[in-house]
Amino acid sequence: MKDVEDIQSRARYSARRMSKPINFHCDAPDAKAVEIVGDFNDWQPGVHRMHRQPDGTWFLQVSLHHGHHRYRFLVDGQVMLDSKASGVGRDEQGARCSLRAVS
């Protein structure tokens, strides 16, 4: 019984279940609006709108779970990959997207 309780306790507090604040920055000084779409918001526009910073870059902090996440920026409705991403991958339709590793 003790072993089962230990396993359940570890699963409950596993890093995989915890989220971590991740900072996203997008360099698009001439943009009117920038947002992030990705696997963490079902690729839905309007969920994660970024905020313009005084230097013209855009910023948003998103809580993400452990693992690899696929995403892209929408800059005035146009797709833009993140030049600071961990890598480049493909979404479910085969389109290129940025990758971010969270540990």
55 contact partners, CB below 8 Å, separation of at least 6? 29
Between strands 58-65 and 34-38, the pairing is unpaired
Residue 14 in this model has a pLDDT that exceeds 70: no
Q: What is the pLDDT of residue 16?
A: 55
The number of distinct structural domains making up the chain is 1
DSSP 3-state of 9: helix
Q: Which domain holds residue 80?
A: 19-102
With CA atoms as reference, report the closest residue to 75 among 90, 99, 62, 58.
58
**Average pLDDT value for residue range 16-24:** 87
Confidence band for 4, pLDDT divided at 50, 70 and 90: very low
Residue 1 in this model has a pLDDT that exceeds 80: no
CATH number of the domain encompassing residue 38: 2.60.40.10
